[in-house]
Amino acid sequence: MRLSVDTEVMPHRHPWGQLAFSKVGVVRLTTTQGTYLAPPSRAVWIPPGVEHAVTVLEDADLRTLYVHAPRGRMLPLPAAEQAGWRDCRVLEVSDLLRALVLEMNTQPDGDALEPAQRQREKLLSALVLDELRRARPIPMGVDLPADKRLRALCQAVLDDPARHATLAEWARDSGASPRTVARLFRQELGTSFGQWRQRVLLAKALALAAGRQPMNRIAEELDYASASAFSAMVRRSVGQAPSRFFVSNT
């Protein structure tokens, strides 16, 4: 499904699980609990029944894989393997998983396939499930609060994370005191504003890197004083230099 930048798919839900990734471009999926970026190197798992909206950040070719499972299960896997799939998660997309999804039938009437084609789809599906089991979860989701005041502030940061650098500046925009905002972050999200915003910046940087932006341009876009300051943030967050993290994940 080809989607142009700024396209928004309104909140909706499915009775089946869904794996979403963009062949090209970047999309953002948002639920009541958090928001998740999907550049070409990543996929977002959305469990059955979870309401989600989609925002296209960069012209995208979005692929969605619907996963049906027995009642009460997230995936057609043994019961012992269900727990980790009950929440949204960002997954690393291997070359094999990407190739398998792109090879699957995209026609709505799968029953019209020839017997040989149906058998091929069955084999592809089995391999996809095996690759999903092996896919490495990436801590790239950004939690969102239930409190309406704090959620509005968080949405403003997501839309333009470099607008302000300090909690005091963001709090002023929201009409609340820095102390109140800091308390709400601890109560609602269990983290500090600085730690939460750092994850937002890292997700934004990954999206820019997916668009082949050079490292110094990404640092400038995110309002870092220098490329070295930006590199230090990435190292603290993921334990890798940007040159390694972004090249291996875009």
160 & 219 share domain? yes
Kindly give the residue spans of alpha helices, DSSP state H, lying in the chain. Answer: 95-103, 115-134, 148-159, 167-174, 178-189, 193-210, 215-221, 227-238, 242-248
In angstroms, rounded to a whole number, what is the distance separating the alpha carbons of residues 153 and 181? 9
Range in 75-79, 92-96, 210-214, 225-229 with the lowest mean pLDDT:
210-214
- Identify the helix (H) or strand (E) that includes residue 136: none
Domain count, the chain: 2
| Interval 46-59: pLDDT, tens | 999 999 999 988 88
106 & 183 share domain? no
Q: Which domain holds residue 219?
A: 147-248
15 & 128 share domain? yes
In angstroms, rounded to a whole number, what is the distance separating the alpha carbons of residues 166 and 181? 12
Indicate the residue among 103, 138, 173 that finishes a domain: 138
pTM of the model: 0.81
Q: What is the dihedral of CA 219, 223, 226, 228, to 10 degrees?
A: -50
22 & 125 share domain? yes
Report which residue type is found at 74: M
Mean pLDDT, the chain, as a whole number?
86
- pLDDT given for residue 109 in this prediction: 60
- pLDDT given for residue 247 in this prediction: 59
Beta-bridge mates of residue 89: 45
158 & 101 share domain? no
Check whether 248 has a pLDDT greater than 60: no
User: Mapping DSSP to helix (H, G, I), strand (E, B) and coil, where does residue 181 land?
Assistant: helix
> Which CATH number belongs to the domain containing residue 180 in this structure?
1.10.10.60
Check whether 239 has a pLDDT greater than 70: yes
Range in 71-80, 126-135, 188-197 with the lowest mean pLDDT:
71-80
pLDDT-derived band at 116 (thresholds 50, 70, 90) equals confident
Higher pLDDT, 78 or 52: 52
Beta-bridge mates of residue 26: 58
Check whether 207 has a pLDDT greater than 80: no
- pLDDT given for residue 184 in this prediction: 93
31 & 84 share domain? yes
Check whether 194 has a pLDDT greater than 80: yes
Range in 19-23, 38-42, 244-248 with the lowest mean pLDDT:
244-248
204 & 124 share domain? no
190 & 215 share domain? yes
67 & 166 share domain? no
- pLDDT given for residue 187 in this prediction: 94
Check whether 26 has a pLDDT greater than 90: no
Q: How many contiguous H segments (helices) and E segments (strands) does the chain have?
A: 9, 11
Check whether 134 has a pLDDT greater than 80: yes
Indicate the residue among 121, 138, 155 that finishes a domain: 138
Phi, psi of 107 (to 5 degrees): -80, 140
Indicate the residue among 110, 138, 166 that finishes a domain: 138
168 & 226 share domain? yes
Beta-bridge mates of residue 28: 37, 55
Q: What is the mean pLDDT of residues 51-69?
A: 89
In angstroms, rounded to a whole number, what is the distance separating the alpha carbons of residues 32 and 86? 14
Measuring CA to CA, how many Å separate 11 from each of 57, 85, 176, 249? 17, 21, 28, 28
- pLDDT given for residue 127 in this prediction: 93
In angstroms, rounded to a whole number, what is the distance separating the alpha carbons of residues 233 and 244? 14
123 & 16 share domain? yes
- pLDDT given for residue 110 in this prediction: 58
120 & 225 share domain? no
Instruction: Spell out where 42-128 has E strands.
Output: 42-46, 52-58, 60-67, 89-92
Check whether 249 has a pLDDT greater than 70: no
Tokens representing 102 are 């792109």
Q: What is the mean pLDDT of residues 199-226?
A: 83
| Interval 142-157: pLDDT, tens | 999 998 889 999 999 9
- pLDDT given for residue 50 in this prediction: 94
